[in-house]
């Protein structure tokens, strides 16, 4: 961590500090959304429905691998930021080395356990006879490359945790750019299809890993990839997993919620499923912007938690104002041109009408989603493992019964509104827990003001 990053942690005006940490993350997550769209577009030009089906079916697998990376990366990253605030720089080396090598080992375990079960995994993903081989090709390469993919997400988190937000963003964008270039080559030049797309993802992650490792080895004062700093202790395991496990569980819950939601939605026919798919893709962009903001400020909150709690309080307050402003701007845009936005994907009047309705309803919870993401980030940053765990499961636990009763009482409209209701419950639970946490910190804040 150089002097400039330390300045943003400790002394820069709150607005400038938040921008330093959050804007690169927002840009990085936005690039990820753009890549996911281009990835499907490139493969779609081959006019092979089975290939596109395989790409869609493997999303849950990629989500699980990513979640494993965030399990180590988010847990280690928030711990590193707190240690920096306490100026325990030698411990930072131990934690970063632990994160690096434990991610590799975790990836090797995933590969060793999963490859012998490859056919069962492909079937469980829902592959049809037409898409089975394409899905198997993709899954095989992703499992072989799982140590690389897991390590990529871990390193992005720990590099950002020391304040190197621009370096973290650069690695993310480098991965996306390399992935797009390789996609063009493997699809249009080498004609490798789905196998090529999976290989491109793994290779692009490897390129980013090399970039992050170079930064940690040559430019970072405190992060390390050296095996000599590797250490396993009760303190490291406790601090990493009490935050990392809730992050992992949240990712798994989100995937399960998506499957359950689609199960209810399919009762109302293909137009309902298609309309929700279109509106979800449109909602993904502002959601990722807000997610980038909230995840971006986590290192700043974690550092301030151990170094200056009053600064932490001001950082949280400013971030809430930004969430309100961004949600308002995006909401106005959607309510003015929702029909035109849905029309970019289809010219079917029924789909446009249904999609516009879904977009209006789901956008009501954009502010709530942003706030719940911030609440979760605060609990992660301040090592509140129990609160982080509750936030990781509350939305999923709420959505299932709400979906059931809303579907029975109000049909299609009930299913759509159930998302907003579940989000609102998660928001209320998070707000209550944050209030308790605020009271817990109040004596410290008072002593700082005096």
pTM of the model: 0.83
Residues 395 and 421: beta-carbon distance below 8 Å: no
Q: pLDDT tens digits for 154-186?
A: 999 999 999 899 999 999 999 999 999 999 999
If asked whether residues 254 and 386 sit together in one domain, one would say yes
If asked whether residues 289 and 426 sit together in one domain, one would say yes
Last residue of one domain, picked from the residues 185, 200, 232 = 232
Q: pLDDT tens digits for 367-378?
A: 998 999 999 999
If asked whether residues 168 and 283 sit together in one domain, one would say no
Q: Is the pLDDT of residue 212 over 80?
A: yes
**Mean pLDDT computed over 125-139:** 87
pLDDT value of position 309: 87
Last residue of one domain, picked from the residues 232, 263, 297 = 232
Q: Write out the two tokens for 113.
A: 């356990």
Q: Into how many domains does the chain fold? A: 2
Q: Is the pLDDT of residue 436 over 90?
A: no
* Sign (positive or negative) of CA dihedral 293, 397, 107, 91: positive
Q: pLDDT tens digits for 316-351?
A: 999 999 999 999 999 898 888 888 888 876 677 888
Burial of 198 (C-beta count, 10 Å sphere; 0-12/13-18/19+): buried
Residues 286 and 330: beta-carbon distance below 8 Å: yes
Q: pLDDT tens digits for 194-209?
A: 899 999 999 999 999 9
Transcribe 140-195 into DSSP letters: HHHHHTHHHHHHHHHHHHHHHHTT-HHHHHHHHHHHHHHHHHHHHIIIIIS--HHH
Q: Is the pLDDT of residue 450 over 60?
A: no
pLDDT, mean over the chain? 87
CB atoms closer than 10 angstroms to residue 16: 12
Last residue of one domain, picked from the residues 232, 257, 284 = 232
If asked whether residues 154 and 8 sit together in one domain, one would say yes
Query: Domain range for residue 346?
Result: 239-450
If asked whether residues 438 and 300 sit together in one domain, one would say yes
Q: Is the pLDDT of residue 440 over 60?
A: yes
If asked whether residues 322 and 407 sit together in one domain, one would say yes
With b for 16 or more beta-carbon neighbours within 10 A and e for fewer, the 251-273 pattern comes to bbbebebeeebeebbeebeeebe
Q: Report phi then psi at 334, rounded to 5.
A: -65, -45
Q: Is the pLDDT of residue 58 over 90?
A: no
If asked whether residues 243 and 321 sit together in one domain, one would say yes
If asked whether residues 291 and 389 sit together in one domain, one would say yes
If asked whether residues 215 and 281 sit together in one domain, one would say no
**For 415-422, which contacts have Cβ atoms below 8 Å and span 24 or more sequence positions?**
415/261, 415/264, 415/265, 415/268, 416/276, 416/357, 416/358, 416/361, 416/362, 417/361, 419/261, 419/361, 419/362, 419/365, 420/361, 420/362, 420/364, 420/365, 420/368, 422/395, 422/398
pLDDT value of position 448: 41
**Mean pLDDT computed over 218-246:** 92
If asked whether residues 55 and 144 sit together in one domain, one would say yes
If asked whether residues 215 and 279 sit together in one domain, one would say no
If asked whether residues 103 and 148 sit together in one domain, one would say yes
277 Cβ neighbours under 8 A, 6+ residues apart: none
């Amino acid at each position: 961590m150089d002097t400039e990053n330390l300045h943003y942690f400790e002394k820069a005006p709150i607005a400038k500090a938040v921008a330093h940490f959050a804007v690169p993350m927002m840009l990085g997550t936005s690039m990820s959304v753009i890549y996911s769209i281009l990835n499907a577009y490139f493969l779609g030009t081959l006019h092979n429905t089975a290939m596109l089906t395989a790409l869609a079916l493997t999303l849950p697998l990629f989500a699980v691998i990513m979640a494993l990376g965030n399990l180590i990366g988010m847990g280690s990253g928030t711990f590193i930021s707190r240690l920096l605030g306490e100026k325990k720089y030698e411990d930072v080396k131990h934690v970063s080395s632990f994160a690096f090598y434990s991610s590799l080992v975790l990836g090797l375990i995933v590969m060793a356990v999963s490859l012998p079960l490859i056919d069962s995994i492909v079937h469980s993903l829902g592959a049809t006879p037409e898409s089975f081989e394409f899905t198997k090709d993709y899954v095989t390469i992703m499992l072989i490359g799982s140590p690389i993919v897991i390590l990529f997400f871990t390193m992005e988190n720990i590099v950002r945790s020391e304040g190197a937000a621009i370096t973290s963003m650069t690695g993310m964008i480098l991965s996306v750019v390399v992935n797009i270039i390789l996609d063009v080559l493997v699809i249009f030049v080498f004609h490798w299809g789905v196998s090529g797309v999976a290989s491109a993802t793994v290779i692009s992650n490897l390129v980013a890993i090399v970039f992050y490792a170079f930064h940690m080895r040559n430019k970072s004062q405190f992060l390390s990839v050296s095996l000599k700093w590797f250490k396993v202790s009760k303190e490291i395991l406790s601090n990493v997993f009490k935050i990392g496990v809730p992050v992992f569980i949240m990712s798994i819950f989100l995937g399960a919620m998506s499957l359950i939601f689609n199960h209810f939605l399919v009762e109302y026919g293909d137009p309902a499923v298609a309309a929700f798919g279109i509106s979800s893709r449109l909602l993904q962009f502002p959601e990722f912007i807000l997610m980038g903001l909230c995840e971006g400020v986590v290192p700043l909150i974690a550092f301030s938690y151990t170094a200056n709690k009053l600064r932490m309080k001001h950082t949280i307050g400013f971030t809430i104002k930004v969430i309100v402003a961004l949600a308002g701007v995006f909401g106005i845009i959607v309510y003015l041109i929702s029909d035109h936005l849905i029309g970019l994907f289809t010219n079917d009047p029924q789909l446009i009408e249904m999609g516009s309705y879904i977009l209006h309803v789901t956008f009501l919870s954009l502010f709530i989603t942003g706030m719940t993401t911030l609440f979760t980030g605060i609990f992660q940053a301040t090592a509140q493992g129990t609160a982080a765990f509750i936030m990781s499961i509350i939305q999923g636990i709420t959505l299932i019964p709400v979906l059931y009763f809303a579907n029975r009482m109000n049909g299609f409209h009930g299913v759509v509104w159930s998302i907003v209701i579940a989000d609102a419950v998660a928001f209320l639970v998070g707000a209550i827990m944050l209030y308790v946490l605020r009271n817990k910190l109040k004596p410290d804040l008072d002593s700082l003001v005096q």
